[in-house]
A and B are shown apart, each in its own frame.
Chain A
Amino acid sequence: MSDVTLTNISKRFGSVLACDDINLHVDDGQFISMLGPSGCGKSTLLNVIAGLEEMTSGEIKIGERVVNNLGPFERDIAMVFQNYALYPHMTVAENIGFSLRLRKRPAQEVQQRVMDVARMLELNQLLDRLPRELSGGQQQRVAIGRAVIREPSIFLFDEPFSNLDAGLRIRMRGEIKELHQRLGVTSIFVTHDQEEALSISDCIAVMRAGRIEQTDTPEYVYSRPASKYVARFIGSPQMDIFMGEFERQDGKLVYRVGQARFDIPPLTAQPSAPVDIGVRPEHVLIGEIGVAAEVHIVQPIGPFTYVTVKWDGGEATSRVNGISHLKPKEQVHIHLDPTGLHVFDRITEERVELFAR
């Protein structure tokens, strides 16, 4: 069994606390992403799981074994690095087969297994090349091959695609997902790209300043963010978060942002503290009814157009299907989709359930 359990992991560098009391469980065969901006501790945590960094305190279990005292190789993990870290003086074949040669496996076996892996990753034409003769994408595939040949219990990925061009990055995501479907090995994937995490993971752990803010499936991280931070980090363009007040208008409850009063569905609980309300662009609807606003910026991106509107005291971005013919300074009306409201406590920034789902 190769599930991973992290208990109370902390890692300190001098006076800096890189990982702060992390608790996480990864099921056997699950693909989990650790997502967060630079400096949030995700790479450190990965290195701690790998055994490349010593944790300050805590316990790591792989399967039933407590692996705190084991080195990376004994933990039976394989890792793919951001800068590929291929051995520059060895050919592709030698790079991939290095771990087997260290184990003193017979040459015949090494050659066979290297061939198998190379074929799987479409590297068989490149086996005699040196890393510097390969493109970025090819180098990354060699790095993956080096990890795959180990047949480890756990794959660790440290932002492997950050150095690739956009198009290549998206293609590699597909390949990784396919690889995972084929091999089914427990995988922990570190990235700062929320789109990447959403597209390939079974589960996402959103990190911030050394702590995990939310661990959930992509669907829930997107649709039920547990905090303002997660809500803003996930989803592009960013969710609009309004700092407004509840008001009674004509007997109805509305949420006032600046001079705009938005209709909201009935509350299922009484808010004990001031709250902010967040809305994703696809839930900001431009139409005939609602708050009066003026079109500010129109950004068509092909399948959608993002229209930013302003009113006295606020602004919001709406996602419109197809090409919109709205122009700046036009007057429109916007209202909020009642199923797309996210409520956050203004002080604690945590999610509050105020509306029926």
Chain B
Amino acid sequence: MSYTFKRRLSRNFIRFCLAGFVCVCLGPVIWALVTSFLPLSALTSTPLDLNPLNATLDNYIKVFDTSRGLFSGLINSFIISLFTSAIALTLGAMAAYALARLKMPGSTLILMVILATQMFPAIVIAIPLFLAMSRINLIDKHIGLIIVYLSFVLPIVIWILKGFFEGIPQELERAAAVDGASPLQVFRFVILPISLPPLFATGVFAFIESWNEFFFAIILTRIHVKTVPIAIAEFSGQYTTLYGQMLASAVLASLPVVVLAIVFRKFILEGFVEGAVKA
């Protein structure tokens, strides 16, 4: 086989694989979208009636009626994710900077602990937290969930941002110190302004993690603070035959975070994957 022929063959093979990869990756999602726009009659007919003329928004309209929890779920998830990521970002950036640059004693220990927190099942702390929260009456309250969410969001934020802060050249901070900046002023006028992209990315990441969280949500909420994952889980458990609406609810639940992920893809891709590698 000639060299160019081999190359063209392998290139086409790769393109074929890439196409296959995209199909496998997006296939289920696209299928879910398609399903959500089809009426129940089309979905339950055999063979499946995929006539695009049947496309309808019916499922999306009805689902808010069927699942009373969906709308409030979206609101609750939004509130909780926003506050969790905001608090985690603020406190986490401060702690990450302290660990990265301000030479705290015991920082290695703290870092090992943070690493460890990513690696155990939520159930371990869920039980005591549930008992404690019941005692102080924080079950089914937004603030309760936010505090508990911090337990797994804060460590990740600290870990990612620490890696980033360590990458900022030390000479920059030294120059600022020589110019007369106090350590706080160095943080405010030099470090923060150049850290905006990774700070933002980490915030988005924290938001996504909070939004998608299910386990603590079902343990620590009852009626008022149901988040959107709970809403769709309930829906799929209760209305097992309303397929179109079930998928519409899943799409609605996922849309915000998938959109966020795509909009901030550059930040996310650069930021946390490298953070994981640098770890």
Direct contact of A and B (CB under 8 A): yes
Q: A73–B172 contact, CB under 8 A?
A: no
Instruction: Report the bound CA distance from A103 to B180 in whole Å.
Output: 8
Which residues of B sit under 8 angstroms from A82, Cβ to Cβ?
A: 171
Instruction: Report the bound CA distance from A86 to B175 in whole Å.
Output: 8
Q: Mark B154-190, 1 if CB is under 8 A from A, else 0.
A: 0000000000000001011011111111000100011
Name A146's contact: one of B175, B189, B190, B194 (CB within 8 Å).
B175
Name the CB-closest residue of B to A150: B179
Which residues of A sit under 8 angstroms from B174, Cβ to Cβ?
A: 47, 50, 52, 72, 79, 81, 85
Which residues of A sit under 8 angstroms from B172, Cβ to Cβ?
A: 85, 87
Instruction: Report the bound CA distance from A52 to B176 in whole Å.
Output: 11
| Distance of B189 from chain A, by nearest CB (Å) | 8
Name B180's contact: one of A47, A102, A143 (CB within 8 Å).
A102
Q: B171–A81 contact, CB under 8 A?
A: yes
B237 at the interface (CB under 8 A from A): no
Q: Interface on chain A toward B: helix, strand, loop, or mixed SS?
A: loop
B106 at the interface (CB under 8 A from A): no
Q: B171–A83 contact, CB under 8 A?
A: yes
Q: Specify which of A50, A85, A98, A103 lies most central, judged by the most chain B CB atoms within 10 Å of its CB.
A: A85
Count chain A residues whose beta carbon lies closer than 8 angstroms to a beta carbon of B.
24
B193 at the interface (CB under 8 A from A): yes
Task: List 7 additional contacts besides A79-B175, A79-B178, A87-B172; criterion CB under 8 Å.
Answer: A50-B174, A73-B177, A73-B179, A79-B174, A98-B179, A102-B181, A102-B185
Interface residues of A in 39-56 (CB under 8 A from B): 47, 50, 52
Which residues of B sit under 8 angstroms from A71, Cβ to Cβ?
A: 177
Q: Specify which of B176, B178, B193, B194 lies most central, judged by the most chain A CB atoms within 10 Å of its CB.
A: B178
Name B179's contact: one of A47, A88, A102 (CB within 8 Å).
A102
Instruction: Report the bound CA distance from A88 to B171 in whole Å.
Output: 12
Which residues of A sit under 8 angstroms from B189, Cβ to Cβ?
A: 98
Which residues of A sit under 8 angstroms from B175, Cβ to Cβ?
A: 79, 81, 85-87, 143, 146
A279 at the interface (CB under 8 A from B): no
| Distance of A313 from chain B, by nearest CB (Å) | 50
Q: A99–B177 contact, CB under 8 A?
A: no
Interface residues of A in 71-109 (CB under 8 A from B): 71-73, 77-79, 81-83, 85-89, 98-99, 102-103
Instruction: Report the bound CA distance from A86 to B181 in whole Å.
Output: 14
Instruction: Report the bound CA distance from A322 to B132 in whole Å.
Output: 90
Residues of A whose CB lies within 8 Å of any CB of B are: 47, 50, 52, 71-73, 77-79, 81-83, 85-89, 98-99, 102-103, 143, 146, 150
Count chain B residues whose beta carbon lies closer than 8 angstroms to a beta carbon of A.
16
22 residue pairs of the A-B complex, CB under 8 angstroms, read: A50-B174, A50-B178, A52-B174, A52-B177, A52-B178, A72-B178, A73-B177, A73-B179, A73-B181, A77-B178, A78-B178, A79-B174, A83-B169, A85-B169, A87-B176, A87-B194, A89-B194, A98-B181, A102-B180, A102-B181, A146-B175, A146-B179
**6 pairs of A and B residues whose beta carbons are closest in the complex:** A99-B179, A85-B171, A73-B180, A85-B175, A89-B193, A81-B171
| Distance of A349 from chain B, by nearest CB (Å) | 35
Name the CB-closest residue of B to A147: B178
Which residues of B sit under 8 angstroms from A86, Cβ to Cβ?
A: 175
| Distance of A284 from chain B, by nearest CB (Å) | 43
Given contacts A83-B171, A85-B172, contact A99 B180 (CB under 8 A): yes
Instruction: Report the bound CA distance from A98 to B186 in whole Å.
Output: 11
Instruction: Report the bound CA distance from A98 to B176 in whole Å.
Output: 8
Instruction: Report the bound CA distance from A60 to B190 in whole Å.
Output: 29
Given contacts A88-B194, A89-B194, A102-B185, contact A72 B169 (CB under 8 A): no
| Distance of B172 from chain A, by nearest CB (Å) | 5
Interface residues of B in 176-223 (CB under 8 A from A): 176-181, 185, 189-190, 193-194
Instruction: Report the bound CA distance from A102 to B179 in whole Å.
Output: 8
Q: Specify which of B169, B174, B179, B185 lies most central, judged by the most chain A CB atoms within 10 Å of its CB.
A: B179
Which residues of A sit under 8 angstroms from B171, Cβ to Cβ?
A: 81-83, 85
| Distance of B37 from chain A, by nearest CB (Å) | 46
| Distance of B59 from chain A, by nearest CB (Å) | 48
Given contacts A83-B169, A85-B171, A87-B172, contact A73 B194 (CB under 8 A): no
Instruction: Report the bound CA distance from A102 to B178 in whole Å.
Output: 11
Which residues of A sit under 8 angstroms from B178, Cβ to Cβ?
A: 50, 52, 72-73, 77-79
Instruction: Report the bound CA distance from A339 to B189 in whole Å.
Output: 60
| Distance of B5 from chain A, by nearest CB (Å) | 45
Which residues of A sit under 8 angstroms from B177, Cβ to Cβ?
A: 52, 71-73
Instruction: Report the bound CA distance from A308 to B181 in whole Å.
Output: 56
| Distance of B27 from chain A, by nearest CB (Å) | 43
Instruction: Report the bound CA distance from A89 to B193 in whole Å.
Output: 7
Name the CB-closest residue of A to B193: A89
Q: Mark B47-73, 1 if CB is under 8 A from A, else 0.
A: 000000000000000000000000000
| Distance of B104 from chain A, by nearest CB (Å) | 16
Instruction: Report the bound CA distance from A72 to B179 in whole Å.
Output: 8
Which residues of B sit under 8 angstroms from A89, Cβ to Cβ?
A: 193-194
Instruction: Report the bound CA distance from A99 to B181 in whole Å.
Output: 8
| Distance of B103 from chain A, by nearest CB (Å) | 11
Name B190's contact: one of A72, A77, A87 (CB within 8 Å).
A87
Instruction: Report the bound CA distance from A50 to B175 in whole Å.
Output: 11
Which residues of A sit under 8 angstroms from B190, Cβ to Cβ?
A: 87
Which residues of A sit under 8 angstroms from B194, Cβ to Cβ?
A: 87-89
Name the CB-closest residue of A to B192: A89
Which residues of A sit under 8 angstroms from B169, Cβ to Cβ?
A: 83, 85
Instruction: Report the bound CA distance from A79 to B178 in whole Å.
Output: 7
Instruction: Report the bound CA distance from A64 to B126 in whole Å.
Output: 63
Which residues of B sit under 8 angstroms from A102, Cβ to Cβ?
A: 179-181, 185
